[in-house]
Amino acid sequence: MWALCFGALVIISFTYWVYRWRNPRCNGKLPPGSMGLPLLGETIQFFASNPSSDIPPFVKERMKRYGPIFRTNLVGRPVVVSTDPDLNYFIFQQEGQLFQSWYPDTFTEIFGRQNVGSLHGFMYKYLKNMVLNLFGPESLKKMLPEIQQAASSRLELWSRQDTVELKEATASMIFDLTAKKLISYDQENSSENLRDNFVAFMQGLISFPLEVPGTAYHKCLQGRRKAMKMLKNLLHERRANPRKHQSDFFDFVLEELKKEGSILTEEIALDLMFVLLFASFETTSLAITMAIKFLSDHPLVLKQLTEEHEAILKNRENADSGISWKEYKSMTFTFQFINETVRLANIVPVIFRKVLREIQFKGYTIPAGWAVMVCPPAVHLNHKKYEDPLAFNPWRWEGPEINGASKHFMAFGGGMRFCVGTDFTKVQMAVFLHCLVTKYRWQAIKGGNIVRTPGLQFPNGYHVKIMEKQTRFIST
Ligand code: HEM
């Protein structure tokens, strides 16, 4: 009898739990959607790969079924997905008030608990200023010759090779440049390869969070541990042998750590270093790879871009001087081209926030404690805003203002958390394109299929043959 009662109680409790899972408590009307299977939610569907440039099928199907705002459950957490430009705008504007930067526990595990994306308030502002000092316009002006030197020498090297795997090659170029700027790291003079650890890290970054040997996620965490160990050793080495003049970010961090009452800790500094290295080389190299693929596929775009850069060379007083800041700022079509590239590349496919207080929006209630997921691809591929959204058309950006974020363009995020590396990326892309189109031509050899998981990767590699131009258009 007791056993029967116990069994009935278990069944009732379980049924109630499943019911609650499917119908979470809410003081109003939740957005429509499904919470998926108990515990798993819709995580597996979310991680399905997408071999197209289009909105991920997970989001697209649900937009059709439920509309632009819907609910789901990912890795055990209730989430409201927003493809609605007004809600996205509201989310970015209310950072720190109604919403807070938040990423799933697995991300925090991967990027470090003290990474800049997970910090708030005073500490966050302090770190953001540090990064802006490093990658703000004044620093970038000084970095121009270094960036041009890096691009020119790599292109020259690649032109002597049969083919190059472009993503890998550009990642190496950007990583070397950034690692030099941040920690004076030089792969050639180092016994260990720091970037290899980041590669392992990247492969599992947006994967199912199962920490079992052999899984991509496990490899990712291992990559992080190794990279962090190397960074820590490098920092300790520098502390033991300080330099007379501050020349890189490590010197700056060590000075800060020495200050009495400094809020910076070694752990925070190392997490920041890790995030900056990762954020800079993975994103920018992907953008450059996509840019070259788009140029290969669109000869008219290549023609206009080449004309813009040839004109800069023609107008340069001293042919041997490098790109000036003024020239960089004058690259109107190049900026249109970069915007169009990052719109279609959708390098950051999701942006997460946590809801701090219950929100009422367009008739729906989003409970406090839930996560919201902004989905930039849905915004960038919205046919109501972008005519023929899957077409690559840099001319659509003709007009007065193309910098910064808007309700319809959030490749670099928006609001207070707008990407601090935007200008750094744009300078690197523009300078690289300048060196490429004025001096080289290239031929796509193989690969280049886009697969999102839901991160972006080229599984087969995009191989190109870089060739020096026979003739320079420049008139002397
Ligand atoms: C094509 C290149 C890039 C893209 C598409 C990109 C995209 C983004 C996006 C969408 C965000 C907002 C994330 C959020 O709101 O939660 C962000 C933030 C951030 N990005 Fe970038 N990024 C790029 C390059 C870079 C570079 C080169 C750096 C390094 C200097 C960088 C460093 C950061 C940092 C530190 C944040 C966090 C800012 C904060 O929380 O306030 N990014 N990026």
Query: What residue segments make up the domains of the chain, in order of their start?
Result: 1-17+26-466
Stated pTM of the model: 0.91
101 lines ligand 1 (CB under 6 A): yes
Nearest CA to ligand 1 atom 43: 419
Task: Please tell me the distance between residue 279's alpha carbon and the centre of ligand 1 in angstroms.
Answer: 6
Average pLDDT over residues 182-187: 82
Would you say residue 401 has pLDDT above 70? no
Q: How confident is the model at residue 410 (pLDDT cuts 50, 70, 90)?
A: very high
279 lines ligand 1 (CB under 6 A): yes
CB 231 within 8 A of CB 270: yes
371-374 vs 77-82, strand pairing mode: parallel
182 lines ligand 1 (CB under 6 A): no
Which class is domain 1-17+26-466?
mainly alpha
Residue pLDDT, tens place only, 211-251:
778 787 788 888 888 888 988 998 898 888 888 777 788 88
348 lines ligand 1 (CB under 6 A): yes
- Higher model confidence: residue 466 or residue 452? 466
117 lines ligand 1 (CB under 6 A): yes
Task: Please tell me the distance between residue 255's alpha carbon and the centre of ligand 1 in angstroms.
Answer: 26
- State the CB neighbour count (10 A cutoff) for residue 159: 17
Nearest CA to ligand 1 atom 19: 419
- What is the identity of the amino acid at 376? P
Residue pLDDT, tens place only, 333-382:
999 999 999 999 999 989 999 999 999 999 999 999 999 999 999 999 99
Task: Please tell me the distance between residue 422's alpha carbon and the centre of ligand 1 in angstroms.
Answer: 7
219 lines ligand 1 (CB under 6 A): no
419 is in an annotated binding site: yes
Phi, psi for 80 (deg, rounded to 5): -105, 125
